[in-house]
Amino acid sequence: MELAELTVAKVRELVGARKVSARELAEQHLARIEKRNAELNAFLTLCPERALAQADAIDRKAKAGEPLPPLAGVPVAIKDVIVTRGVPTTAGSRILEGYAPPYDATAVARLEQAGAVILGKTNCDEFAMGSSNENSAYGPVRNPHDTARVPGGSSGGSAAAVADGLAVAALGSDTGGSIRQPAGFCGVAGLMGTYGRVSRYGLIAFASSLDHIGPFGRTVRDAAAVMQVMAGRDPNDSTSADVPVPDYLATLDNPVKGMKLGIPKEYFGAGLDPEVRAKVEKGIACFRELGCEVREVSLPHTDYAIACYYIIATAEASSNLARYDGVRYGPRATRAETLEAMYHRTRGQRFGAEVKRRIMLGTYALSAGYYEAYYLKAQRVRTLLYQDFVKAFEQVDALVTPTSPTPAFKLGEKTDDPLQMYLADIYTVTGDLVGVPGISVPCGKSKSGLPIGVQLFARHFDEARLLQLANAFEQAGGFGT
Which strands, in side-by-side order, build the sheet including 451-458?
43-46, 117-122, 75-79, 169-174, 212-217, 189-192, 438-445, 451-458, 398-402, 260-264, 293-297
DSSP per-residue codes, 257-309: TT-EEEEEGGGGSTT--HHHHHHHHHHHHHHHHTT-EEEEE--TTGGGHHHHH
Phi, psi (rounded to 5 degrees) for 245: -100, 115
Does the pLDDT at position 481 exceed 70?
A: no
Please report the pLDDT score of residue 235 as a whole number: 98
Across 203-213, average pLDDT: 98
Please report the pLDDT score of residue 236 as a whole number: 98
Q: Which residue has the higher pLDDT, 172 or 98?
A: 172
pLDDT band at 16 (very low <50, low <70, confident <90, very high): very high
Residues 363-382: pLDDT tens digits? 999 998 899 999 999 999 99
How many whole angstroms separate alpha carbon 236 and alpha carbon 13? Answer: 34
Across 122-135, average pLDDT: 97
Please name each of the domains of the chain with its CATH number. Answer: 3-230 (3.90.1300.10)
pLDDT band at 213 (very low <50, low <70, confident <90, very high): very high
E-only strand ranges, 135-218: 169-174, 189-192, 212-217
Q: What angle in degrees, to the nearest 10, is found between the helix axes of 463-475 and 220-230?
A: 160
Does the pLDDT at position 39 exceed 90?
A: yes
% the chain with pLDDT above 70:
99
How many whole angstroms separate alpha carbon 294 and alpha carbon 288? Answer: 7
Mean pLDDT for the chain overall = 96
Please report the pLDDT score of residue 333 as a whole number: 85
User: Three-state secondary structure along 405-461?
Assistant: CCCCCECCCCCCCHHHHHHHHCCCHHHHHHCCCEEEEEEEECCCCCEEEEEEEECCC
3-state secondary structure of 204: coil
Beta carbons within 10 angstroms of residue 369's beta carbon? 6
Across 99-114, average pLDDT: 97
Assess contact for 447 and 275: CB atoms under 8 A: yes
DSSP per-residue codes, 94-157: GGGTT---SS--HHHHHHHHTT-EEEEEE--SGGG--SSS---TT----BTTBTTB---SSSHH
Across 214-222, average pLDDT: 98
Across 87-116, average pLDDT: 97
User: Could you list the active site residues?
Assistant: 79, 154, 178
Does the pLDDT at position 480 exceed 70?
A: no
How many whole angstroms separate alpha carbon 189 and alpha carbon 197? Answer: 18
Across 130-152, average pLDDT: 98
Please report the pLDDT score of residue 138 as a whole number: 98
Residue 115 CA to its chain's centroid (Å): 21
Residues 283-341: pLDDT tens digits? 999 999 999 999 999 999 999 999 999 999 999 999 999 999 888 877 888 888 899 99
pLDDT band at 116 (very low <50, low <70, confident <90, very high): very high
Does the pLDDT at position 433 exceed 90?
A: yes
Q: Rg of the chain over CA atoms, in angstroms?
A: 21
Please report the pLDDT score of residue 48 as a whole number: 98
Across 242-266, average pLDDT: 98
Q: Which of 55, 56, 72 is nearest to 16 (CA)?
A: 72
Please report the pLDDT score of residue 368 as a whole number: 87
Q: Which of 468, 12, 8, 458 is nearest to 217 (CA)?
A: 8
Please report the pLDDT score of residue 423 as a whole number: 87
Residues 383-422: pLDDT tens digits? 999 999 999 999 999 999 999 999 999 999 998 888 889 8
pTM comes to: 0.97
Please report the pLDDT score of residue 479 as a whole number: 66
